Structure 1
Amino acid sequence: MTDDQRALQHRIRAELGLTDAFDVDQEIARRVDFLAAYLQRTGCRSLVLGISGGVDSLAAGCLSQRAVEQARRQGHQATFFAVRLPYGQQADESDAQSGLGVIRPDHLLTVNVKPATDAMLDQLLASGLQFRDAAHQDFLVGNIKARQRMIAQYAIAGAHAGLVVGTDHAAEALMGFFTKFGDGAADITPLAGLNKRRVRALAAAMDAPHALVYKVPTADLESLTPLKPDEDAFGVSYEQIDDFLEGKDVGQDALQIILRTYQASAHKRALPVAP
């Protein structure tokens, strides 16, 4: 890396909350304390989180369940609602169910987002909207799925004086790998400041099985390419992203992709612009 690239790497790490030191047990305790304290400070009485079958929602779910249990011990009414949000039949449903077996949430709700998503697409097409091609339509429908899922979670949170928990972490934030106002919309993000490697460490320390901790990450939003690995979309690996976020050297090809993607996705990490 050049000196300028190294300086930019340090600035990005600071902006995304990365620290040099990492102790998994301390991080779990700190993040559980944060969730429990925020519930009590706001007067809210529940946490709501969509469980996808991936390690991010598994880790956030474990933290959330521990947080409401801690809040209850401290005399505060608190409940965790885990939500399954499939689009029809989910290809990795068994992984989602295995994750729920680890989390053991207070309550589980299942909301199929397919009818609402398909109805929205039908109305868009009826309005005269045209997509470039089938792949373009499929990609944008994936964004509709993500936003429908957040609509459901906020409805549940509204019904139970709750906060919506997000699964965004530093690796996804770096690459802008979330749907704006979809999975990127939440009230509280307990995985912030962690790269993927550290999210996996948290999940493993909270008794998640190896197969789920190291499952190939996928957003699974596109119907034409189900379970498409995140890394295929990135053009770089999570190992390279994590190394960058830990202040390590990465090759110039990967570095250029990371920096270019970070800059192009800046609007996703910002509040709406105003004059």
Structure 2
Amino acid sequence: MTFHDQQSQIAERLGVAKSFDAAAEAEQRIRFLADYLRASSLQSYVLGISGGVDSLAAGMLAQSAVESLRSQGHEAQFIAVRLPYGTQADEADAQRSLQVIKPDRVVTIDIKPATDAMLEAVRVEGGDLLDTARLNFHLGNIKARQRMIAQYALAGTTRGLVIGTDQAAEALMGFFTKFGDGAADILPLSGLTKRRVRAIATHLGAPDELVFKVPTADLETDAPLRPDEDVYGVTYDEIDDFLEGKDVSEVARQKIIATHYASSHKRALPVALV
């Protein structure tokens, strides 16, 4: 199989379209959210807002979807959730995102007490199993999973569904926590490269300072706001070019493909003996 065949197959599996129009995509994804909530006979969408462009774009789509449903006589609301671990370094960006989205309801839940308690509980009996050199990495994964616990708690009590922010660039690289931010009921950004997520956010009226903010998962306490690209070893432009069928350097190609296949288990359903 040639590189271009492999590149094309991966992009197709991740749902990346060959052409893109921001206005058409935004309309389609708003309709997708509205139709699914109505068909489910549920009444709310819940989404964690981090201050990054992915949750910003997904939040704007969700708010538009529930407003559309209400205009048709359906009961629907969008609940935006702030989930800081104590004090978030880019809290101002998160608050600015909320101002742009204008959600029906904002709920703030500090995940620090639950996260720290869980890590301590693990250390009581299994401390010798933890890689102390990667303790902040392990803590980061607990943070991501605690955030999803909180979102599902809210969804469960409001007859709701949890929105995930997974998009094609992060899916390609496996850059999400399994059963953390990788867990959700619906993914309105699926199949979009990072630049296409930005284009949709811009189309919906988001300001450039939020759209083009340096992306960060901000999970590791010892490296706050560490850029995603530092973790990847390649840039989002290279990842997006790969997904959009464009040429990338040999170094970037090898890094992207190796990371993609090494993270395959994160994109798969649980394995079962049938």
Q: TM-score, normalised by structure 2?
A: 0.98
| Structure 1 residue 33 corresponds to structure 2 residue 31 | yes
Shift of 1:133: 2.5
Shift of 1:154: 0.2
Give unpaired runs (5+ residues) of structure 1. Answer: none
State the 4+ residue runs in structure 1 displaced beyond 4 angstroms. none
Give unpaired runs (5+ residues) of structure 2. Answer: none
The aligned counterpart of 2:214 is 216
Task: Please give the alpha-carbon distance, in whole angstroms, between the structure 1 residues aligned to 2:108 and 2:7.
Answer: 41
Task: Please give the alpha-carbon distance, in whole angstroms, between the structure 1 residues aligned to 2:172 and 2:81.
Answer: 26
Shift of 1:122: 1.0
For residue 107 of structure 2, give the secondary structure of its aligned residue in structure 1.
strand
For residue 2 of structure 2, give the secondary structure of its aligned residue in structure 1.
helix
The aligned counterpart of 1:162 is 160
Identical positions, percent = 61
For residue 46 of structure 2, give the secondary structure of its aligned residue in structure 1.
strand
For residue 129 of structure 1, give the secondary structure of its aligned residue in structure 2.
helix
The aligned counterpart of 1:64 is 62
Task: Please give the alpha-carbon distance, in whole angstroms, between the structure 1 residues aligned to 2:126 and 2:27.
Answer: 52
For residue 127 of structure 2, give the secondary structure of its aligned residue in structure 1.
coil
Matched AA of 2:165: T
Shift of 1:132: 2.5
Q: How does 1:39-188 map to 2 (within 5 A)?
A: 39-130=37-128, 131-134=130-133, 136-188=134-186
The aligned counterpart of 1:7 is 5
1:119-141 CA distances to partner (integer Å, 9 max, x unpaired)?
0111111114232334x111011
Matched AA of 1:59: A
| Structure 1 residue 253 corresponds to structure 2 residue 269 | no
Shift of 1:75: 1.7
Matched AA of 2:118: M
Task: Please give the alpha-carbon distance, in whole angstroms, between the structure 2 residues aligned to 1:107 and 1:256.
Answer: 44
Shift of 1:108: 0.2
Matched AA of 1:199: V
Shift of 1:190: 0.1
Shift of 1:73: 1.1
Task: Please give the alpha-carbon distance, in whole angstroms, between the structure 2 residues aligned to 1:63 and 1:81.
Answer: 13
Shift of 1:205: 1.0
Task: Please give the alpha-carbon distance, in whole angstroms, between the structure 1 residues aligned to 2:234 and 2:270.
Answer: 29
Matched AA of 1:133: T
Say which of 185, 188, 191 aligns to 1:190.
188
How many equivalent residue pairs? 272
Shift of 1:69: 0.3
Q: Provide the alpha-carbon RMSD of the alignment.
A: 0.8
Task: Please give the alpha-carbon distance, in whole angstroms, between the structure 2 residues aligned to 1:53 and 1:32.
Answer: 20
For residue 261 of structure 1, give the secondary structure of its aligned residue in structure 2.
helix
Task: Please give the alpha-carbon distance, in whole angstroms, between the structure 2 residues aligned to 1:184 and 1:25.
Answer: 26
Task: Please give the alpha-carbon distance, in whole angstroms, between the structure 1 residues aligned to 2:72 and 2:14.
Answer: 31
